[in-house]
Amino acid sequence: MDNILVVHPRDNVGIALKTIAAGEPVIAQGKELFCALEEIPVSHKVALADIAPDEEIIKYGEPIAVSTQPIQKGRWVHTHNLASGAWKR
């Protein structure tokens, strides 16, 4: 059963459909993608790929923020590692 939602092929984050425990497989469209590196709270974002500092966070196919530090695939993406609106500079 899927535990994340990936809305658009451009997205570099998925949305947790339930709380995902550290080490738990992350599954979208029936495929196991990787294991979560830390707990991902329900409705929060998980990195689908490694994201470099100052890289856009893409959700729903559109930029929603920019990373403030490197984010590994499987990590929680939230206010501690992104800046909202920074892509509009």
C-alpha to C-alpha distance for 25 and 53, rounded to whole angstroms: 25
Tens of pLDDT, residue by residue over 12-21, are 999 999 999 9
Judge whether residue 87 has pLDDT over 70.
Answer: no
Per-residue H/E/C for 13-68: EEEECCCECCCCEEEECCEEEEECCCCECCCCEEECCCECCCCEEEECCEEEEEEC
Judge whether residue 89 has pLDDT over 80.
Answer: no
The kind and range of the H/E element at 82 are strand 82-84
Tens of pLDDT, residue by residue over 46-74, are 999 999 999 999 999 999 999 999 999 99
The class of domain 4-88 in CATH terms is: mainly beta
Which amino acid, 51? I
Tokens 């998980």: give the residue: 46
